[in-house]
Amino acid sequence: MHTFSYKNGTLYCENTPLCDIAEAVGTPTYVYSKQTILDHFKGLQQALSPLDSEVSYAVKACSNLAILNLMAREGAGFDIVSGGELWRVVQAGGDPRRCTYAGVGKTPEEIRYALEQEIYCFNVESEAELRAIDEIAGSMGIKAPVAVRVNPNIEAGTHKYITTGKSENKFGVDFDRIEALYALIDEQMPNLEIKGLQMHIGSQLTQVKPFIEAVAKVAPLAARLKERYGIRFFSIGGGIGIVYDGALASGSPDWWEHNHQLTIDAYADSLVPLLQPLGLRILVEPGRVIVGNAGVMLTQCLYEKKGDAKTFKIVDAGMNDLIRPALYEGHHEIWPLQQHDDQDTVVADIVGPICESGDFLAQNRTVADVQQGEYLAVFSAGAYGFSMSSNYNSRPMAAEVLVDGSNWTVIRSRQSLEDLVRGEIIPE
């Protein structure tokens, strides 16, 4: 699952003591394990090998150039949602011709840039967007490759902010309207090339049932579109969840199965038989399952504050560094870099320095009774951690580090105070 463990009382990433990184780079700092990323990526590739398939890494999960370069060198495609993400892929050495471009609000400038870069396909979310792409492609004298994102109206069983496959969500086209829309493309949009079909029902799914229901519902539609319009691929999206709570502490690779969590093998074993008869190229668009448990955020305890109601451990990482607990009520395991005795614990809130009551990493949690100056590792922070961070409260953004065995590299320098105001101008 991951390569973070205690050795002689010190927390390591692969063969590197995390305290060495904390002392050298400072905190907050994100640390990623190269081995864990590769293990997860190759595991998914292998599980889907009975299909003509491609793993298209979801750039939004963790978009550092070093991570994207690693994915490109391993043969990944890329799921992008902005012109900026496409630019990142290109800068990292990725092939734009292996990029699928999703998102409901592509601007004309982004569409034109993507066409100039010859991306593999647009995953389109509305008729209005199709018409915009058709017009821009026509002005450029080319055909734009498109797939429409179908909304299968399947209950994903995940947080309301990250479900995407219901009819009330902003994403995709209603299932009962999709075939009419493909006919409209064929009849009225001469500058579009119908290339595939796409769906994505949500993120952080921990059961296989919603995936089975969605694929079973949409696969016959894909077969009909293949027969009528010659589509070449069916993208089934991403959304494979990871363990945030419990498994890290258990140390057992069987924890997933014993707790009925979704594994990569269970995912593939259930879906491959449904997809093989289609004879289509199958794209999957994972992010979290590849990088989520491959990353931790290091932070330092600044102060302890005891009140009548609670004990607070105040750390130097805030909601601007890791917003998942505040935004999604997300759980993250939190361990000290120097191991404490099992009895040396306290029930506390671990909170940051941001001027918001929602600025916490954990609430009412039994944690190691760390003291001022000690370091902590916030686990499962590799996905939607740094990529969702901000400069709120004028705080410089954290550093990022990639570990490879006993070697490590700063892959993003910590922002300076000068970086905070770069580009700002006081008018005369």
- Domain range annotation of the chain: 4-29+293-420, 103-284
The residue assigned the tokens 């607990």 is 325
* pLDDT given for residue 261 in this prediction: 64
Q: What is the pLDDT of residue 255?
A: 43
Q: Which fold has domain 103-284?
A: TIM Barrel (3.20.20)
Fold of 4-29+293-420: Lyase, Ornithine Decarboxylase; Chain A, domain 1 (2.40.37)
Q: Give the angle 222-191-194 at the CA atoms, nearest 5°.
A: 10
Out of 13, 19, 121, 355, pick the active-site residue. Answer: 355
Q: Is the bond preceding 28 in cis, omega lying within 30 degrees of 0? A: yes
Looking at residue 347, what is its pLDDT? 96
Q: Are 81 and 59 in contact (CB under 8 A)?
A: yes
State how far the Cα of 111 lies from the Cα of 144, in Å rounded to an integer.
10
Question: Within 13 A of 380's CA, how many CA atoms are on the CB side?
Answer: 22
- The H or E element containing residue 399 is strand 399-404
pLDDT at residue 107, as a whole number: 98
Q: What is the pLDDT of residue 358?
A: 93
Each residue's pLDDT tens digit, 71-88: 999 999 999 999 999 999
Q: pLDDT at position 250, please?
A: 44
Give residue 155's pLDDT.
Answer: 67
Are 263 and 289 spatial neighbours (Cβ–Cβ below 8 Å)? no
Instruction: Flag whether 324 is marked binding.
Output: yes
Name all contacts of 110-114 with Cβ < 8 Å and 24+ positions apart: 110/82, 110/83, 110/86, 111/136, 111/144, 112/136, 112/140, 113/83, 113/86, 113/87, 114/83, 114/86
Residue 62 annotated as catalytic: no
| Residues 115, 182, 218: CA angle, nearest 5 degrees | 105
287 annotated binding-site participant: yes
* Token pair 């668009």 in the structure block, residue: 285
DSSP characters over 230-297: ---EEE----B----SSHHHH--TTHHHHTT---HHHHHHHHHHHHGGG-SEEEE--SHHHHGGGEEE
328 is in an annotated binding site: yes
97 is in an annotated binding site: no
286 belongs to an annotated ligand binding site: yes
Give the global pTM. Answer: 0.93
**Which residues of the chain fall below pLDDT 50?**
159, 161-162, 164-166, 247-260
182 annotated to a ligand binding site: no
DSSP summary character for residue 15? T
